[in-house]
């Protein structure tokens, strides 16, 4: 295995890549560069976490019987003298001295993103560990693969985990650390199958065999470690993990600490005849050195292309910044931040006002309605159309009114038409207006959101300011949306609470009803004629009336003309 001990500059390559990663993370930029790294891939019970902890030499990863790695962990190891400490990318100012606190922070930050205890997320956690006991190395611990969702896990958990893994190993600059237990059939290894899907020739894959001490008496993985079973260009490395094991009497022994586990591993390889002659190429210390060397050499190989990508990206950004400055309506070199902000705010106001008022006409505006014109179209065409769909036909309304009158009277024959029938029909019709009104508000809000988005794009030369401005305007619009709907709903409820039967539209409808009803009465007259009614004791108080008795009513008039 080649080393880089003769060239101290080689040792700076991994920290340089780590620094690039930190820079892109700190500015919240989506990486368009494929940075060299090592992704750790394996099944849920393959022992990935134990391998990483043995490499670091500390217990710092969450443990549990179920899935514990729910987000990618970008682990950057930096060789440094003095006290060990860890720093998280989301808490760059805080140093973690206690590794129990590191484990707790990983769990807390995972829960902050993955609300579901059984879910996963592709959003990575960035952790840097400074220690004299590590070599410069960058590893990405990925969620363990599963074949079948367990109880409580989402139905698509298998696909989600596979998608996260593929996102990393599809990067041609990414080395794949495929972790496989030695006590399973190698050709069925989930890690190797996944690695082969993106690295069919095995040029980027490094095989790691775990649990060599659990293969059973008479079995060993010597041929696999000698690259005679599954061929990988970078070969296989065997390790022995700590954990519960049987002692010489068949009893379960206590889990070893990391120093004890490393010593147990050394003795196992030295004493086992199958591995004794290759023991110097096995174990966690050898794995640690090999990964550091291979990653460094891989970075060196990728460096020319990476440098060209960085320079190209730098030129593009410089050109973009120059365009931003050229498009500014004020001199950014002499204008204070406050004045610049006021200028941008004024420009935003003018653009928004223009979009709604339509004071300027551009050539593109001749093809489609925009801004205020679309809102006007909603009020003039869409809203009336929605209202018309709720209206009853006159015939249907008359029929409903007649049925309502009869239902209110029951078996009684009334002399007067009950107001409740008309009020109920009117209230029912008014209540139907609420849905079109709310729909109209939603359509207007949607158009205003589009105007806000287009207007905020005027600030695209200041991405953070543009985003904050759009968020604030959107939030204010949402608040007004709620208030408008509440006001319209209250107005409709007000109209429903009191029906003005003196309204001429109401009287007109009632008149039509009476005409219709009176025509019906004329066709169903049973008897009519004059009749003297005594209204008092004395004879002179008697009065003549003209009565009409129909199937539905008894009507009387003072004279025949009436």
Report the pLDDT value the prediction gives residue 27, as an integer from 0 to 100: 61
Eight-state DSSP code of residue 153 = S
Residue 436 has pLDDT above 80, yes or no: yes
pLDDT band at 198 (very low <50, low <70, confident <90, very high): very high
- H helices present in 125-257, as ranges: 157-169, 190-198, 222-225
Dist CA 116 CA 550 (whole Å): 74
Q: Specify whether the CB–CB gap between 100 and 62 falls below 8 A.
A: no
Handedness of CA 335, 336, 340, 343 (dihedral sign): negative
Question: 238, 225, 153, 142: which is closest to 190 by C-alpha?
Answer: 142
Query: Could you say which DSSP state residue 268 is in?
Result: H
Q: Residue 234 pLDDT more than 80?
A: yes
Structure tokens, 245: 């094991």
**CATH match for 42-169 among 3.40.50.300, 3.40.50.1980, 3.30.365.10, 1.10.3720.10:** 3.40.50.300
Residue 393 three-state SS: coil
Neighbouring CB atoms inside 10 A of 469's CB total 19
pLDDT of 379: 87
Determine the Cα–Cα distance for residues 163 and 72; give it in Å rounded to an integer.
Answer: 12
CA 321 to chain centre: 31
- Would you say residue 250 has pLDDT above 50? no
Q: Which of 98, 90, 159, 85 is nearest to 125 (CA)?
A: 90
**pLDDT of the residue at 367:** 66
**Where do the H-state alpha helices sit in 57-114?**
99-113
Ranges of beta strands (E only) in 415-561 are: 525-534, 542-550, 554-557
Model confidence band, residue 80 (pLDDT cutoffs 50, 70, 90):
confident
Cα separation of 404 and 557, whole Å?
27
Pick the more confident residue, 547 or 453: 453
- Write down the pLDDT at residue 5: 45
Of the ranges 54-68, 234-248, 273-287, 393-407, which one carries the lowest mean pLDDT score?
A: 393-407
Token output for 471: 């968020």
Is-contact 86 221, C-beta < 8 A? no
Confidence grade of residue 326 (pLDDT, cut at 50, 70, 90) = low
Tokens representing residue 263 in the block: 């010593």
CB 525 within 8 A of CB 550: yes
> Is 495 buried (19+), middle (13-18) or exposed (0-12) by CB count in 10 A?
middle
Instruction: Give me 401's structure tokens.
Output: 């009114």
Calpha distance 349→343 (Å, rounded): 10
Q: Give the per-residue pLDDT at 25.
A: 65
Q: Are 167 and 211 in contact (CB under 8 A)?
A: no
Give whichever of 14-23, 250-259, 418-427, 516-525 has the largest mean pLDDT: 14-23
H-run or E-run covering 310: helix 284-327
pLDDT digits (tens, 9 = 90+) for 390-432: 776 666 666 777 777 777 767 766 656 666 777 777 788 888 8
pTM of the entire structure? Answer: 0.58
Supply the pLDDT for residue 125: 92
Dihedral (CA of 198, 202, 208, 210) sign: positive
CATH number of 340-504: 1.20.120.1240
Backbone angles phi, psi at 187, to 5 degrees: -70, -10
**Do 496 and 427 form a contact (C-beta atoms < 8 A)?**
yes
Q: 209 phi and psi, to 5 degrees?
A: -100, 120
SS3 label, residue 556 = strand
> What pLDDT, on a 0 to 100 scale, did the predictor assign at position 487?
93
CB 38 within 8 A of CB 140: yes
pLDDT score of 94 more than 90: yes
More confident residue, 514 or 151: 151
Q: How far apart are CA 464 and CA 461, in angstroms?
A: 9
pLDDT digits (tens, 9 = 90+) for 525-534: 666 666 665 5
pLDDT greater than 80 at residue 82 = yes
Q: What is the pLDDT of residue 236?
A: 95
Mean pLDDT: which of 20-24, 477-481, 552-556 is highest?
A: 477-481
Q: pLDDT per residue over 181-197, tens digit each?
A: 998 888 889 999 999 99
- pLDDT of 504 > 70? The answer is no
Domains 42-169 and 184-327 share a fold: yes
Taking all residues of the chain, what is their mean pLDDT, rounded to a whole number?
79
Domain boundaries, given as residue ranges, for the chain: 42-169, 184-327, 340-504, 524-557
335-383 tens-digit pLDDT: 566 777 777 788 888 888 888 877 655 545 566 777 778 888 888 888 8
Q: Dump pLDDT digits (tens) for 278-306.
A: 999 999 999 999 998 898 888 888 888 88
Which of the following CATH numbers is that of domain 184-327: 3.40.50.11030, 1.10.3720.10, 3.40.50.300, 3.30.200.20?
3.40.50.300
Q: Which residue from 469, 473, 471 is spatially nearest to 460, judged by alpha carbons?
A: 469
The tens digit of pLDDT for each residue in 116-136 reads: 777 899 889 999 999 998 888
Percentage of the chain with pLDDT > 90? Answer: 28
Question: CB burial class (10 A; 0-12, 13-18, 19+) of residue 371?
Answer: buried
């Amino acid at each position: 295995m080649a080393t880089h001990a003769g060239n101290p500059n080689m040792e700076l390559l991994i920290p340089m890549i780590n620094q690039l990663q930190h820079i892109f993370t700190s500015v919240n930029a989506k990486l368009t560069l494929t940075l060299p790294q090592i992704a750790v891939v394996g099944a849920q019970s393959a022992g990935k976490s134990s391998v990483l902890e043995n490499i670091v030499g500390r217990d710092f990863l969450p443990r549990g019987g179920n899935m514990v790695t729910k987000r990618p962990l970008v682990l950057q190891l930096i060789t440094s003298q003095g006290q060990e400490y860890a720093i998280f990318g989301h808490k760059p100012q805080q140093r973690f001295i206690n590794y129990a606190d590191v484990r707790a922070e990983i769990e807390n930050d995972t829960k902050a993103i993955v609300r579901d205890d059984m879910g996963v997320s592709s959003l990575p956690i960035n952790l840097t560990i400074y220690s004299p006991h590590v070599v410069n190395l960058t590893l990405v611990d990925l969620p363990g693969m599963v074949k079948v969702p367990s109880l409580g896990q989402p139905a698509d958990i298998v696909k989600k985990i596979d998608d996260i893994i593929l996102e990393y190993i599809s990067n041609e600059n990414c080395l794949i650390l495929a972790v496989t237990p030695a006590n399973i059939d190698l050709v069925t290894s989930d890690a190797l199958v996944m690695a082969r899907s993106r690295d069919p020739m095995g040029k980027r894959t490094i095989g790691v065999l775990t649990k060599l001490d659990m293969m059973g008496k008479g079995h060993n993985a010597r041929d696999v470690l000698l690259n005679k079973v599954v061929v990988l260009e970078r070969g296989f490395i065997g390790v022995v993990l700590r954990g519960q094991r049987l002692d010489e009497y068949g009893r379960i022994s206590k889990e070893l600490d990391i120093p004890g586990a490393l010593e147990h591993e050394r003795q196992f390889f030295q004493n086992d005849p199958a591995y004794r002659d290759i023991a110097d190429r096995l174990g966690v210390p050898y794995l640690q050195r090999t990964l550091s060397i291979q990653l460094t050499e891989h970075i060196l190989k990728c460096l020319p292309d990476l440098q060209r990508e960085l320079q190209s990206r730098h030129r593009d950004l410089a050109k973009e910044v120059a365009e931003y400055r050229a498009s500014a309506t004020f001199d950014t070199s002499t204008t204070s931040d406050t004045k610049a902000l006021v200028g941008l705010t004024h420009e935003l106001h003018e653009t928004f006002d223009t979009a709604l008022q339509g004071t300027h006409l551009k050539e593109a505006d001749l093809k489609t309605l925009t801004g205020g014109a679309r809102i006007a179209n909603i009020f003039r065409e869409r809203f009336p159309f929605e209202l018309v769909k709720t209206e009853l036909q006159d015939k249907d309304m008359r029929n409903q009114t007649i049925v309502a009158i009869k239902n209110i009277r029951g078996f009684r024959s009334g002399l007067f038409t009950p107001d409740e029938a008309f009020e109920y029909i009117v209230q029912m019709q008014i209540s139907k207006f609420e849905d079109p009104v709310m729909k109209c508000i939603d359509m207007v809000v949607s158009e205003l959101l589009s105007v806000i988005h287009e207007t905020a794009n005027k600030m695209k030369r200041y991405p953070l300011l543009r985003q904050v401005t759009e968020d604030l305007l959107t939030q204010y619009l949402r608040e007004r949306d709620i208030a408008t709907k509440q006001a319209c709903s209250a107005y409709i409820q007000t109209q429903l609470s009191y029906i003005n039967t003196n309204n001429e539209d109401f009287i007109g409808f009632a008149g039509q009803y009476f005409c219709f009803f009176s025509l019906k009465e004329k066709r169903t007259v049973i008897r009519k004629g004059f009749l003297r009614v005594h209204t008092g004791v004395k004879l002179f108080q008697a009065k003549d009336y003209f009565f009409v008795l129909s199937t539905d009513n008894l009507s009387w008039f003072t004279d025949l003309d009436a």
